[in-house]
Each structure stands twice: as C-alpha cells, then as structure tokens.
Amino acid sequence: MILLIACLLSPGVNADLADLLGGTSAVLRPEQAFAPQLVTGADGRLAVQFRIAPGHYLYRDRLQVTDARGAPLRPQLPPGDVYDDPESGPVAVLRGDQTLHLDIPAQAGATIGLRYQGCAQGRLCYAPISLRLSLPE
C-alpha cells in the first residue's frame, strides 16, 4: 500500500494523472476537437461542417448520418488522407475543415443524427460520439 501511494505521488505519475483528470492536459474535449455544425450549403441543401483541430483527425469510414427518423443518409464525403493507424492499419482520415454534403433540402429546424469517431494523433482516440444537430428555427 505504501509503495502504491509513493508511486502515485511521484512527479511523472502525478502529471499523467492530472492530464487524465483534465488538470493541465492539452487534450481537447470532443466538441472542441471536431466541432460539427449543421449548415445550409451553397446549393440550398444541408451540410455538416467539421472544424477539426490541428493534431486531430476523424475516421472517414466511421462517419454515419441519419435523418430525423433515424434512416441512414449517404453524405458526400471528401476522400481524406491515408493514415497508417497503429490499431487498424491504413485508413482514410479527415483533417482540418471538412464539409459533408447531404442530399436534403435545408429547412428551418431540420435535424439529423450524426455519429463519428476521431483521435488526437499519437495521444488517444475518443469513444464514438453520437449527437443530433439542427438548423435554427
């Protein structure tokens, strides 16, 4: 028990614990790392904009979009970059500002479901994130 307490109080472990608990960590919360927003595209249709923070990426093939009833939609996805993921091997990822175009007319209050997963490169991968996005009324 004393050994465990001594280990937890050592500077390196203590810093790691602070990072894990949100103390001095540079790891962003998912909503900061990916910042999805439902918008009206230039063509008058719905689009999802991601502002992916530097050093972060989204798995292209783990993006799922549904309509308000939960039926799957097929967004037009950018091709992405090939990344040699240590867990999955070569995968397509999205970085920077990205837009997913949907074949749905934009209407006030329109709602979609969105599921995605991404990582902070070399640090951690976030659990899959599911949320609903709506255009303002």
- The string of pLDDT tens digits covering residues 28-41 is 999 999 999 999 99
Residue 136: which pLDDT band, with cuts at 50, 70 and 90?
A: confident
Q: What is the spatial distance between Cα 117 and Cα 125, in angstroms, rounded to a whole number?
A: 8
Helix, strand or coil, per DSSP, at residue 33:
helix
Mean pLDDT is lowest, of 2-16, 80-94, 106-120, for 2-16
User: Which one is the CATH code of 27-134: 1.20.5.510, 2.30.30.280, 1.10.150.20, 2.60.40.1250?
Assistant: 2.60.40.1250
Work out the average pLDDT over 113-123.
Answer: 95
**Per-residue pLDDT at 3:** 44
Answer whether residue 20 shows pLDDT above 70: no
Q: What is the spatial distance between Cα 39 and Cα 104, in angstroms, rounded to a whole number?
A: 12
Question: pTM for the complete prediction?
Answer: 0.78
Portion of the chain with pLDDT greater than 70, in percent: 82
